[in-house]
Each structure stands twice: as structure tokens, then as C-alpha cells.
Structure 1
Amino acid sequence: MAERAAWVSFWVALLVLGLKALAYLLTGSVALLSDALESTVNVAAALAALLAIRLAQKPPDETHPFGHTKAEYFSAVLEGVLVVVAALLIAKEALPRLLRPVPLEGLGPGLGVSLLAAGVNALLAYHLLKEGRRHRSPALTADGYHVFSDVLTSLGVLAGVGLAGLTGFWLLDPLLAILVAGNILLMGFRLVRQSVGGLMDEGLSPAEVSRIRKTIAEALGGRALEVHDLKTRKAGNRAFLEFHLVVPGSMTVEEAHRLCDELERALEESFPGLAVTIHVEPESERKR
């Protein structure tokens, strides 16, 4: 279940945060502190994703006849905003060190703990992305990509701090922190952009629309005159499709209804969970 994956994300995020905080306390590295601050976002985002997924699973009701699936987008928007806040906090800590670099201590144990945290995060990112695709969950997918970017950031920070320890060039520490802040700032804007697209009823990708048109054409087999005004939209883990189907004037209502049933079955096989609405029109409505 998507909710189980969200719970895993939350508890693992807490563990990783503890490991990264320990790495910072052992070394005093502002770059490792930036890595730990990003993990506080992971914890908050995992909790938001869990709450959103639980709400999104509620069945349709009188006031929400299409369900509650868009709730997941609010989680992803919140995660993007939290990432931006973390980037600003990191910059606040790192900028003074640019003027007054500080030698670091305890790098061996600190980097070892941080490497362990990165390994745990890598396993979590793989799990979240797999479950996000499986359940078509924007919240899990956003969380997975966020955690994966955190892994890349951690590896970069580890390499840089290690290099600073070997060379004594301590300015690398705040420079890395600033780079981490810039990277997660871009990630936050990207998450917000994707989530706002879902809230604004953004359509499916051109590749997915092309597959839908191909499925419709194959299922019709020349029995209809035209398909036009095809529209799609996404809402959480669900996708919606509607189009107008122009049929010959000689086709009876029963025949048109049977044809629509065949189309819906074909589309359901190609796109599980796709909600389809078909408007049947007479030959006089043909547009070309």
C-alpha cells in the first residue's frame, strides 16, 4: 500500500536525520550541517505525504464526487516550500564561514556516519520511486526524487569535506554548503512547479495522449467517423479522459452504447484506473 511506503519514509527519514546530526556534531562541518538541515525537510515531507495519501484514499462523497486524490499535490507543494526554507537556513549558516573558515575535527567518524546515512537514504529512494510508480502516487514519487537528490548531495558533501580534510583548504566546507543550498533551492521550485501543474488540471504527457489515441483507433476499427475534442487531466494517482465520438447516422443507440463499452474496456486495459467519459454525437457534428 502507498500508505505503508509513506510510513517507511517517515521512520527512515528520522533515522537518517539522527545520523546526519551526529555527523555534524562530530565534525562541526557547516556542509554536513546543511545536509542535516535538508533531512529535517525529509521528515516533514514524509509526514505530509503520509497525511495526504490517507486523505487521497477516501472514497468519493457528495461534496467530492471525483474523490480526494488531489490532496497528494498539496503535500508535494508543501515539500517544495520546505526545501526552499531549508536552503535559506543553510545559506544563513554558511555565509559567515566564507569570511572566516574554521578547521574541522573528527572527520573520520563523522564522514563514516554520514556515509551510512547516505546508504540508508539510497535504499529508501529506490523503495519510494518503485512504490510511487506502482501506486501512481505523486506524493511518493516526489518524496522519492527528493530523497534521491539528497543522496547525491550527501555524496558530494562527503567528497568535498574529505578533500578539505586532506588539503587543509577549509574554505571548501562553506562553499559546499552554499552549493547544496543552491541545488535544493532548484529542487524545491521544481517540486512546486510539478504540483501546481496537477492542481491546475494539467493534461497527460504527449506520449501518453499519443498512446490513448492509438488505443482508441485500434479499438474502433473504422466503426466511427471521427474522434475530436479529446481532453485529459491528472488528479493524484488518477487520470481522466473525455472525448467526442462521431458515429454514422445509421447506427442505433444500442450499437453506439456497445461501441463505447468496448472503447472503455480497451482503454482500461492500456491505462488501468483511467476514468473515461465519451460523448456520442451524430454524423452532422463531424468537424472534418
Structure 2
Amino acid sequence: MPQPVSADYKFWVTWASRASVATATVLIVAKLTAWFYSGSASMLASLTDSLMDAAASLINLMALRLAIQPADDNHKFGHGKAEPLATLAQAGFILGSSFLLVFHGIDRILKPAALTHGNVGIGVSLFAIALTLALLAVQRHAVKVTGSTAIAADALHYRSDLLLNLAVLVALVLSAQGMLWADGVFSVLIALYIGYGAVTLGYEAVQLLLDREAEPEVQEQIVQLAREDQRVLGLHDMRTRRAGHMLFVQLHIELDSDLSLREAHDIAESVEDRIRTFYPDSDVIVHQDPQEVVPGFQPEAGSPG
């Protein structure tokens, strides 16, 4: 079974996901107030995005609580796929909100209206930018410590929110200068940007759910770790995949057929230990295949067949 989740991983994914929910909740209240007073379409776009943030962050929090649960008899590979499932749900929420914002922005372009209490919207946008920067600092550290795909997706979403709040700020300033078209135009541009991010997140989540191979650099590192022992003559049929914080690795190593079963087992175990040491959150299975050794034969370094 996969190794238990480390204390650092559990602490940081829990802390980062809770901070995300708290941030979204505070911003909803602030932006709702600003939209009520200003009537800005861009502010409504930002408010809608924060509502989606809150829903997505709640799903993220629940999914991560499941993902950090240890493997059990019914889930021997752990619960790591709850993370890409949460990411896919986030993508669905974000894409739906982007369509609504496009329609509202087009309506505002066709029917421009002067804003009231624009200063309230500008103040709230500045507050949202500061709060989002603080959250991103927490998420950045959490991703660095844990490598969590769900937190990384959430951080990507909030980075887009940072740009969204900057765009809202520009739209409000331009509208206050009499450029009434700016509010609707920026609303549509924000919606298109959000939609693009949603499609990107959704694609990555689907790839993880379909057990896409680990990154090429990870595969190369695994090959190097396996070939550190000169008794490993070659390797083949390597397979990798990710499930949340876990990296799963399976490979066959080629060994001298004259080795004893104990020696072959010890070599395979040392390969597994090296990979687990380099990738602590990993589940590694190494199979041994016998190979006849030609006198004077020197194994060549290379990729697995």
C-alpha cells in the first residue's frame, strides 16, 4: 500500500485550502457591497467569479480531506485521485461563470450606463488585490512543500483573479472618466480569460484521471536512480502515473541470471529504496528479469525499452 501522508503535506494542504475558502468568503461580501452601490458590470463579473471561487474552494477542501486519508482495504492505492476530481469540478464552475459573464458584458456594451459610487468599487478592488496576494503567498509555499495538484490549480485560479481585479480597477477608473463602454468590454475580456483558464485546468485534471505518465524529467531521474547500481544491466517496461500527492512507479530491471534469488531481491529492493528516498511520496514496484551476461559485456546507459 502507498505510504501514509506526511504531516507537512496534511498541514499545508489543509491550511491552504481553508485560507482559500476564507478569502473567497470575505471577497464575496466586499464585492457584493461594491456592486450594490456602483452597479458595475465588471464588478458583477468579479463578484460572480468570487462566488465560483467559494464553491470551488469548498469542493477543494472536501476533496483534499479525502485525498489525505490513508489507503484502506477498499482503496489500496489511496484516495489521491480526489485531487484531480476537485480540479475538474473547479473547471466546470469557472467555465459556467464565464459564459454568464460574456452575456452580461455584451448587454452592458449594448446598453451602457453611468456608474454610481465608483470610488467604492475602486476601494474594494484594491482590497481584493491585497488579500489575493496574501493568499497566493500561502498557496505558493504549500505547493512548494507538498506538490499538491489541487492547491496548484487553486493558486492558478487566484492568479487569474489577481489579473481580474486589476482589470476591474482599470474598467472602473475609465468609466469614471466617462468611457462607459469600458465596463462592458472589460467584463467580456475577463470572462474570456476565465474561460480559457477553466479549459486548461479541466484538460490537466482529465489527463491525471487518465493516468498520464509522469513528467519526462521525472522518468529520466528514475532511470538514473535505477542504473546507479552497476549490477543493473538494463531496464524496461517502466510505467509511471500520479494520483494526488502520490507517484506510482513500476519497472523491470535486468540482472545477471547467475545471481542468487537473495542477491537479485536485494538489488531490486535497493533500487526501490533509492527512488522512494528521492521521491518520498511514491509507491515503487521493481520486478527482476534474468539476463545472460556475455564475457566482457558492459551495460550501456540509456532510456528504458
TM-score (norm 2): 0.89
The answer to whether the Cα contact below 8 Å between 1:133 and 1:141 also exists between their aligned partners in 2 is no
The answer to whether the Cα contact below 8 Å between 1:136 and 1:238 also exists between their aligned partners in 2 is no
Residue 26 of structure 1: how far off its partner (Å): 2.4
AA aligned to 2:156 is Y
Show the 5 A alignment for 1:34-53: 34-53=45-64
Query: What is residue 117 of structure 2 aligned with on the other side?
Result: 106
Determine whether 1:137 maps to 2:145: no
Residue 29 of structure 1: how far off its partner (Å): 0.8
Residue 92 of structure 1: how far off its partner (Å): 2.4
Query: What is residue 198 of structure 1 aligned with on the other side?
Result: 208
Show the 5 A alignment for 1:132-171: 132-166=143-177, 168-171=178-181
Structure in which a larger fraction of residues adopt helix: 1
AA aligned to 2:280 is P
The answer to whether the Cα contact below 8 Å between 2:174 and 2:180 also exists between their aligned partners in 1 is no
**Tell me, which stretches of 5 or more residues in structure 2 are unaligned?**
1-10, 294-298
The answer to whether the Cα contact below 8 Å between 2:238 and 2:252 also exists between their aligned partners in 1 is yes
* 4+ long deviations beyond 4 Å: 284-288
Query: What is residue 222 of structure 2 aligned with on the other side?
Result: 212
Q: Distance in 2 between matches of 1:83 and 1:276?
A: 36
Determine whether 1:253 maps to 2:261: yes
Q: Which of the numbers 99, 105, 126 marks the counterpart of 1:88? A: 99
Q: Which of the numbers 168, 176, 184 marks the counterpart of 1:174? A: 184
Residue 269 of structure 1: how far off its partner (Å): 2.1
RMSD: 1.7
AA aligned to 1:250 is D
Over residues 82-111 of structure 1, what are the superposed CA-to-partner deviations in whole Å (9 max), with x where a residue is unaligned? Answer: 001111121222221111111112112220
Q: Which of the numbers 73, 98, 102 marks the counterpart of 2:84? A: 73
Residue 284 of structure 1: how far off its partner (Å): 5.5
The answer to whether the Cα contact below 8 Å between 1:126 and 1:144 also exists between their aligned partners in 2 is no
Q: Distance in 2 between matches of 1:123 and 1:148?
A: 11
The answer to whether the Cα contact below 8 Å between 2:256 and 2:292 also exists between their aligned partners in 1 is no
Residue 260 of structure 1: how far off its partner (Å): 1.6
Deviates more, 1:205-214 or 1:39-48: 205-214
SS at match of 2:256: coil
**Tell me, which stretches of 5 or more residues in structure 1 are unaligned?**
none
Q: Which of the numbers 54, 65, 71 marks the counterpart of 1:54? A: 65
Residue 162 of structure 1: how far off its partner (Å): 0.8
Identity between Structure 1 and Structure 2 (%): 28
Q: Distance in 2 between matches of 1:58 and 1:143?
A: 20
Over residues 171-198 of structure 1, what are the superposed CA-to-partner deviations in whole Å (9 max), with x where a residue is unaligned? Answer: 0100000001100001111111011111
AA aligned to 1:249 is S
Figure out how many residues of one structure are paired with residues of the other and give that number.
Answer: 285
SS at match of 1:247: strand
Over residues 208-243 of structure 1, what are the superposed CA-to-partner deviations in whole Å (9 max), with x where a residue is unaligned? Answer: 11122222222x1x2121111111100011111111
AA aligned to 2:162 is V
Q: Distance in 1 between matches of 2:282 and 2:16?
A: 23
Query: What is residue 63 of structure 1 aligned with on the other side?
Result: 74
